[in-house]
C-alpha cells in the first residue's frame, strides 16, 4: 500500500493552492451552481489517482474543488511558457507533459508524487470529448497505479461540456454536477488484467456520470 502520509507542501505553494481552490469553489457555486456528491470516497491521505471524464478546459478545477486535500495536476509543457499561467500552475505543483504524452520524466515525476502520498488527477480518455460523451479510456494510468500501489477513484461530471465545449472561447452559465464513486483498490489493480480494469473503471465512471445527470436534472 502507498504511504498513508502526505508530503508537506512549501508554504508558498500551500497558500497558492488554498487560495485558488476557494476562489474556484466560490465561482463554481455562484456561476455554475456546482454541487458534488460522493466526497466520502476520496481518501483523506495517501496516494490515489482520481480518474475523471474530460469535457472541457474547466475540468481540472472542477475535479479539484471537491477534495479537502491538495491534488496534483498534469499540464502540457507549453503551458509553462506563459509567464502568468506558467507561474500559477508551477505554484499549484503541476507536472509538465510532452505534447505526445507523459514521457519518461513525466512518468517518474508522477510516480514520485503518488509514492509520496499525493492524489493525482488524470483524465484517462487522453483528450477532451468532441461530443460530450465518455470516450474509450487509454491504459497509461494502470501502470502508474500498479507501480505506486494506489487506488483508482472514479469521477464523473456533467455540465462542463455545455459551459465550455471543445473549441469554445468563453464559458456560458450552466449547472455543473460532479460525482465520485467507489474506488478500485490497489489490491484489485494488482490482481486484475488491464482490460478488466478499464472495463470496471469505465462502468464506474459511467455510473458517476449517470448520477450527475440525475442530480443536474432534479
Which DSSP string corresponds to the chain?
Answer: ---S--PPPPHHHHHHHHHHHHHHHHHHHHHH--EEE-GGGS-SSS-EEEEE---STTHHHHHHTS-SS-EE-EEEGGGGGSHHHHHHHHHTTPEEEBTTB-HHHHHHHHHHHHHTT-EEEE-TTSS--SSSS--PPPSHHHHHHHHHT--EEEEEEESHHHHS-TT-SS------EEEE---B-HHHHHHS-HHHHHHHHHHHHHHHHHHHHHHHH-
Taking phi first (over 0 means left), then psi (-120 to 50 degrees means alpha), and beta for anything else, what does residue 126 get? Answer: left
What's the domain range around 138? 11-217
Q: Answer whether residue 122 is part of any domain.
A: yes
Does some domain include residue 160?
Answer: yes
The alpha carbon dihedral of 76, 127, 58, 4 has a sign of negative
In a domain, 4, yes or no: no
Per-residue model confidence as pLDDT tens for the chain (218 residues) = 444 455 566 777 778 778 888 888 888 888 899 999 999 999 999 999 999 999 988 888 888 787 878 899 887 788 788 887 788 777 777 888 876 667 788 889 999 999 999 999 999 998 889 999 999 999 989 999 999 999 999 999 899 999 888 877 777 888 999 999 999 999 999 999 999 999 999 999 999 999 999 999 98
Domain count, the chain: 1
Q: What is the pLDDT of residues 155-210, one digit of tens each?
A: 998 999 998 888 777 778 889 999 999 999 999 999 999 999 999 999 999 999 99
> Which residue in 59, 84, 83 sits closest to 73, CA to CA?
59
* Angle 137-155-101 from CA coordinates, rounded to 5°: 40
Q: Is residue 50 part of a domain?
A: yes
**Half-sphere exposure (CA, 13 Å, Cβ side) for 1?**
6
Say if 5 falls within a structural domain.
Answer: no
**What confidence score (pLDDT) does residue 187 get?**
98
Instruction: Report the alpha-carbon distance of residue 77 to residue 75 in Å, rounded.
Output: 6
172 within some domain: yes
Q: Is there a domain that residue 2 lies in?
A: no
CATH number, domain containing residue 63? 3.40.1130.10
* 1 occurs within a structural domain: no
Cα angle: 5, vertex 65, 128; to 5 degrees: 105
Amino acid at each position: 500500500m502507498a504511504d498513508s502520509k502526505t508530503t508537506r507542501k512549501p508554504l508558498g505553494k500551500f497558500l497558492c493552492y488554498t487560495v485558488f481552490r476557494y476562489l474556484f469553489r466560490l465561482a463554481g457555486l455562484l456561476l455554475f451552481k456546482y454541487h458534488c456528491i460522493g466526497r466520502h470516497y476520496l481518501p483523506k491521505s495517501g496516494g490515489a489517482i482520481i480518474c475523471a471524464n474530460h469535457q472541457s478546459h474547466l475540468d481540472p478545477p472542477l475535479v479539484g474543488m471537491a477534495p479537502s486535500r491538495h491534488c496534483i495536476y498534469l499540464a502540457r509543457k507549453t503551458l509553462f511558457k506563459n509567464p502568468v499561467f506558467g507561474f500559477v500552475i508551477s505554484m499549484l505543483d503541476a507536472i509538465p507533459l510532452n505534447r505526445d504524452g507523459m514521457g519518461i520524466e513525466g512518468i517518474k515525476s508522477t510516480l514520485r508524487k503518488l509514492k509520496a502520498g499525493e492524489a493525482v488527477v488524470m483524465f484517462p480518455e487522453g483528450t477532451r470529448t468532441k461530443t460530450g460523451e465518455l470516450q474509450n479510456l487509454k491504459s497509461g494510468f494502470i501502470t502508474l497505479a500498479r507501480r505506486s500501489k494506489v487506488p483508482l477513484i472514479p469521477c464523473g461530471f456533467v455540465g462542463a461540456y455545455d459551459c465550455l465545449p471543445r473549441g469554445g472561447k468563453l464559458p456560458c452559465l450552466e449547472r455543473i454536477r460532479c460525482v465520485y464513486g467507489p474506488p478500485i483498490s490497489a489490491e484489485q489493480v494488482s490482481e486484475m488484467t488491464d482490460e478488466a480494469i478499464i472495463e470496471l473503471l469505465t462502468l464506474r465512471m459511467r455510473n458517476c456520470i449517470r448520477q450527475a445527470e440525475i442530480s443536474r436534472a432534479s
